[in-house]
Chain A
Amino acid sequence: MNVLTQNFQLYGDGFLGTLRLTVYSSLLALALGVVMAGFRVAPVGALRGVGTAWVAVLRNTPLTLLFFAMLLGLPRFGVALPFELFAVLALGCYTSSFICEAVRSGINTVPLGQGEAARSLGMTFGQTLGTVVLPQAFRTVIAPVGSTLIALCKNSAIAGSFSVTELLSTYKTLNENGYSVLWSFVWIALGYLILTLAISALFHFMERRWGAAR
């Protein structure tokens, strides 16, 4: 217990770091993921190509490699950003490919005829997607998107290896100070548990509220 009480500041900073990474990356992943899902079903071939390439590259690259590419690669092109922002970009882009595929599978559950009906009423592709297709698609993808964001939260631990303050990396300091490894990790695990359970609870609530009526 004294591991926690004597290092509350350290744990707190780590927890808040992971929280920040999770929230900002989630927002980026959701925004990019929905846009890319829109691209993948767009009537314009070039947009579909961009969407497909985005998913193919980001979903199939190991996250650590993406971190290296962002943190070491981008500065060579003169893009210098705080490490935390790099981490948010890497996590957000990586996760957006999974969100994109989840949303696309949701789009596929909306009967094609509803899209045709919307178009036959004179609605544009954007209006059809935004007012008819996506609202119904979202209802079916609440659960898989929740799982993806939980995975994002845990994946954020990789950022610790790239000098970003986050929960897992607190063990290094604790270890150097001679604390029990086991208890250090128990409190770290609890921190992740708080975040992931909060995400589950949020998505469970959303599913109860807006989930597809059966």
Chain B
Amino acid sequence: MEPLIELRGVNKHYGTLHVLRDINLTVGRGEVVVVIGPSGSGKSTLCRIINRLETVESGTITLAGRNLPAEGKELARLRAEVGMVFQAFNLFGHKTVLANVMLAPLKVRGQKKDKAQARALDLLERVGLADQAAKYPAQLSGGQQQRVAIARALAMDPEALLFDEPTSALDPEMISEVLEVMRQLAQEGMTMVVVTHEMGFARSAANRVVFMAEGQIVEDRTPEEFFTAPESDRAKDFLSKILKH
């Protein structure tokens, strides 16, 4: 499989906390990698360094063989290739749903307005929200906002999508509508890195499960192997806690 995202020897501290320790991770094109682990294990940070919302102290990050630049226009261009979906949705509050999805194609890609609008409506249709296009984010439920956020990321035709706990802020009944959209994307061959606590999604949609603890990647295996026969004590302990209820 052709590697799309590669992290080599990545280290990061928050003050004295060593939040990422010598991270090596390769995500192939079309692969779905689910990152799980206890809170504070560095999984969100791992997600955020891939498009440099957080800087790293050492190590290299490459996207499709190109080094991630430090700052400026070059970085912006590479960021446009990697979409990101956040726990808090982060829709632009002063713009309608449709305008949220169209904004980056207009500003970053310089697309024509009617083309961007047609594509945005298409994507909203795909996440089941075409009828909400004229509303403002505050008028939508959490699950709807998150689906708009996914459509917004897709509008840039990214090569990969990063999901940073996309369902952690949602009511239980809204989680499934978001996971369903994500499952579809996975089936269509989108490269995805998903930080989540949804073990059901990890089992059914992931090609690989990466288990992190204390800033390190402890296990990196298929979901089948990981969930039925975890190797490390740390993973066994984690699974016993979350699978009990």
Contacts and interface: CB of A to CB of B under 8 A. Distances in A.
Contacts, number: 71
Contacts of B108: 121-123, 127
B153 interface: yes
A213 B77 CA distance: 34
**Consensus secondary structure, chain A interface:** helix
B75 to A, nearest CB: 9
Given A114-B93, A117-B92, A122 B104 contact: yes
Contact of B53 (A116, A131, A135, A136): A116
Given A43-B71, A135-B94, A139-B94, A120 B82 contact: yes
A136 B90 contact: no
Interface string B53-72: 10000000000000000010
B244 interface: no
Contact of A136 (B73, B94, B103): B94
Contact of B90 (A113, A122, A124, A135): A113
A174 interface: no
Contacts of A188: none
A118 interface: yes
B53 A122 contact: no
Contacts of B140: none
Interface in A102-148: 110-111, 113-114, 116-124, 127, 131-132, 135-136, 139
Interface residues of A, number: 21
A116 B76 contact: no
A43 B72 CA distance: 10
Contacts of A119: 53, 76, 79
A123 B107 contact: yes
Contacts of B150: none
Kindly state the interface size class of chain B when it binds its partner: 20 to 34
Given A43-B71, A131-B107, A121 B90 contact: no
Contacts of A120: 51, 53, 79, 82-84, 153
Contact of A122 (B80, B86, B89, B149): B80
Given A116-B90, A117-B90, A123 B53 contact: no
Interface string B33-51: 0000000000000000001
Contact of B73 (A43, A113, A124, A139): A124
A131 B107 CA distance: 9
B88 A121 contact: no
Contacts of B94: 135-136, 139
Nearest to B81: A122
A195 B189 CA distance: 64
Contact of B104 (A110, A123, A213): A123
Q: Closest 5 CB pairs between A and B?
A: A122-B80, A113-B90, A121-B104, A117-B90, A120-B84
Interface of B: 51, 53, 71, 73, 76-77, 79-84, 86, 88-94, 103-104, 107-108, 138, 149, 152-153, 156
17 contacts: A110-B93, A111-B90, A114-B90, A114-B92, A117-B92, A117-B152, A119-B76, A120-B53, A120-B82, A121-B83, A121-B103, A121-B104, A121-B156, A122-B79, A122-B108, A123-B104, A136-B92
